[in-house]
Structure 1
Amino acid sequence: MRIAITGASGNVGTALLRALPADHDVVGVVRRPPAPQGIYARAEWHSVDLSDSEALANLRRVFDGVDAVVHLAWGFQPTRDTRYLTRLGVGGTSAVLQAAHANGVGQLVHMSSVGTYAAGSYGARVDESWPTTGIPTSAYSRDKSAAETLLDEYEKRVGDEAIAIARMRPGFILQRAAAGGLMRYGLPGYVPMQMIPKLPVLPLDSRLCIPLIHANDVADALVRVVERRASGPFNLASEPPMGRDDVAKVLGAKPIHLPAKLLGALVDVSWRARLQHIDRGWLDLAFSVPLMDCSRARQELDWAPSWSAPEALADLLDGVSHDAHTDSPPLRQRSIVDSLRRDVTQGLISSRRLP
């Protein structure tokens, strides 16, 4: 098969490049192509900015002769420019869908998220029929919900002529190799990420209960979906769900109860003061999304995670401790000096156009 992957150099994309059997031809679609070395030598790379007005035309050319498209590309920063994030996430999904349909691609695999689900069942498990109306205070969740609505409307409008669409809804995705990229999006440039695993205390609301999953397990599910030409939504999460005390245990830190409302206020004030990059919506998301029943993935894909949730978190933290990274632009290593230089010359990652 010839498979096009948007966002192929990111967290999940890198894991998918490792997981795909060698007999598949891979086309990588990213804004900033990596050097074709190591795992990134696996793909034929094309530079396409999904937020650009020419994205559809460019994708039409790239998708020529492609059997399946795996759409992973998404933006997490800049949190202060939600219009850009929507243009990239929702607008980019629209361009990918239109190009795939126009080119007669056999299957579209869309990377959705637990963040697409509505609140109302925190700490309880839901299957894929749970409403996908998102968490209103989270820009990420709103856009994930809007992207799924776009797919719904397409399937209703086109009917039997619609291409097969699979929707992957994983929990929060972690892996060692993505430590540098994930921490850079969340930590200010002046905070060494190696400090995180050394935190003596973990001030969080004791109600925290979130689904986590390792990127390798997400990649395994993606391979199974593509090779089986599966369609429809699939929940993906590892066991057990992670509570505050579970996270503290992996960190080796002492858990301290800090009410979510108070923590939310502190996050909001510090974000508005430009002291850190994460807006309150991400905290609202963590304390709103349900847990997931993954029975459908087990039954239809014969899928089961090989990493437990604590193991996935420990793998990420090991990467944080050792400054793990890859050679792709979104995951490459950046020193504190380089991060501070970019903050001064180009603006904070939460504000600048190209994080």
Structure 2
Amino acid sequence: MRIVITGATGNVGTALVRRLTADGHDLVGLARRVPAENDGPQLSWRSVDLTADDAPARLGEAFAGADAVVHLAWGFQPSHDERHLERLGVEGTGRVLRAAVAAGVPHLVHQSSLGVYSPRADDTPVDESWPTHGVRTSPYSRHKVAAERLLDAAEGGTTTITRMRPGIIGQRSAGSALLRYGVPAAVPSRVLGMLPVLPLDRRLRIPVVHADDVADAFARVLDRRPGGAFNLAAPDPLTAAAIAAAFGARLVHVPSSVLRPAMAAAWHLRLQQVDAGWLDLAFALPLLDSGRARTELGWTPTRTAVETFAEVVDGMRTGASAPTPVLRPRTVPGALRDALRSGPVGRRRES
């Protein structure tokens, strides 16, 4: 099949390219910044900025003759420019959707998120029928919900639409990118192995899934072309105790109500670039029941949440990376140089 992938240079995109290349598909990768090592026998790259005026025309050209479009492109930074993130995530999704329909693409696979779900009632895992009103205090959640509303309006047409709703996705090669987005520029990665204690609410439960397992689910969806939504998560969630153990630290229980104002203050002061909405998400969102993916796709995750997180932490400690601009290596000198040239990650757009 000829498959076009938006956001092909990111965490899931790199895993999906690996999988679909191995399966023998003809791929077109779209990204704002394409890798230096450009086209190959099965993969060609095109530069497309979903927020630019020429995006509709560029998407139309790329989608012509495609058997499927996989839409992964999304933005997490600059967290202090919510309007830009909305233009990229929500309006960019609208542009991809309209271009796919106009080009007559038979199948659109959209990477949604567990972030679309309404707050949980308890720790019982929910299936895809759970309400999708999101968590209002999280910009990420609001934007993911808005993107799904665009898909709702397009349902029933000639393009089959599939929505993938994974938990938190990890792999080792995302280590440098996570450090860049989540740790101040002057902090070296080796500090992660020197944490004596980890202040965290012991009630934390997070659905997690490995990027390779997500790629496997995408490959199965592309082969079978089902519509609707699919939850994707390892069977057991990641707990606060497991997070502390991965860092070799002792868990110190601090209620989320205490952590939130501290996190919000640090974000407003530009001391760190992750907004407090992510903490709200972590404690509000439900655990995921992936029964539909198991039954209809034959999908089974190969890594547990604990194994995936341990791999991510190892990647962060060692500065693991991939040969794409998004997953490029992160070093303290490089991070400081970028900060001096372009400002903090939380308010610059070129990261």
Q: Is 1:30 aligned to residue 31 of structure 2?
A: yes
Displacement of 1:41: 7.1
- Could you say which residue in structure 1 is the equivalent of 2:12? 12
Structure 2: give runs of 5+ residues left out of the alignment.
Answer: none
1:321 to 313, 317, 324: 317
Q: What secondary structure, in the 3-state scheme, does the structure 1 residue paired with 2:91 have?
A: helix
- Could you say which residue in structure 2 is the equivalent of 1:132? 132
Q: Equivalent residues in 2 for 1:70-89 (5 A)?
A: 70-89=70-89
Q: What secondary structure, in the 3-state scheme, does the structure 2 residue paired with 1:126 have?
A: coil
| Root mean square deviation, CA, Å | 1.4
Q: Is 1:90 aligned to residue 111 of structure 2?
A: no
Tell me if structure 1 keeps the 8 A contact 2:322–2:328.
Answer: yes
String of CA shifts for 1:144-183, please: whole Å, max 9, x gaps. Answer: 010001100121xxx3x33101100000000001110122
Displacement of 1:22: 4.1
Moved over 6 A (4+): none
Q: What secondary structure, in the 3-state scheme, does the structure 1 residue paired with 2:285 have?
A: coil
Tell me if structure 1 keeps the 8 A contact 2:179–2:330.
Answer: no
1:186 to 158, 174, 182: 182
- Could you say which residue in structure 2 is the equivalent of 1:254? 250
CA–CA distance in structure 2, aligned partners of residues 120 and 77 of structure 1: 27
Tell me if structure 1 keeps the 8 A contact 2:111–2:165.
Answer: yes
The one-letter code matched in structure 1 to 2:102 is: A
- Normalised TM-score (structure 1): 0.96
2:338 to 329, 337, 342: 342
- Normalised TM-score (structure 2): 0.97
The one-letter code matched in structure 2 to 1:94 is: G
- Could you say which residue in structure 1 is the equivalent of 2:270? 274
Identity over aligned pairs, percent:
51
Displacement of 1:93: 0.5
User: 227-236 or 248-257: which moved more?
Assistant: 248-257
Q: What secondary structure, in the 3-state scheme, does the structure 2 residue paired with 1:27 have?
A: strand
Tell me if structure 1 keeps the 8 A contact 2:189–2:318.
Answer: no
Displacement of 1:194: 2.7
The one-letter code matched in structure 1 to 2:101 is: H
Tell me if structure 2 keeps the 8 A contact 1:113–1:169.
Answer: yes
String of CA shifts for 1:180-201, please: whole Å, max 9, x gaps. Answer: 0122111111111232243221
1:195 to 184, 187, 191: 191
2:282 to 282, 286, 299: 286
Structure 1: give runs of 5+ residues left out of the alignment.
Answer: none
Displacement of 1:92: 0.7
User: 43-52 or 239-248: which moved more?
Assistant: 239-248
String of CA shifts for 1:97-127, please: whole Å, max 9, x gaps. Answer: 0010000001000000011111133532110
CA–CA distance in structure 1, aligned partners of residues 114 and 54 of structure 2: 30
CA–CA distance in structure 2, aligned partners of residues 275 and 174 of structure 1: 24
CA–CA distance in structure 1, aligned partners of residues 67 and 264 of structure 2: 44
The one-letter code matched in structure 2 to 1:180 is: S
CA–CA distance in structure 1, aligned partners of residues 314 and 106 of structure 2: 39
CA–CA distance in structure 2, aligned partners of residues 125 and 53 of structure 1: 42
- Could you say which residue in structure 1 is the equivalent of 2:3? 3
Tell me if structure 2 keeps the 8 A contact 1:194–1:323.
Answer: no
Tell me if structure 2 keeps the 8 A contact 1:236–1:292.
Answer: yes
User: How many correspondences in the alignment?
Assistant: 350
CA–CA distance in structure 1, aligned partners of residues 107 and 223 of structure 2: 10
CA distance change for structure 1 residues 250 and 182 in 2, over 3 Å: closer, same or farther?
A: same
Displacement of 1:344: 1.6
Tell me if structure 2 keeps the 8 A contact 1:238–1:305.
Answer: yes
User: 40-49 or 114-123: which moved more?
Assistant: 40-49
CA–CA distance in structure 1, aligned partners of residues 40 and 176 of structure 2: 17
CA–CA distance in structure 2, aligned partners of residues 65 and 112 of structure 1: 24
CA–CA distance in structure 2, aligned partners of residues 249 and 337 of structure 1: 29
- Could you say which residue in structure 2 is the equivalent of 1:145? 145
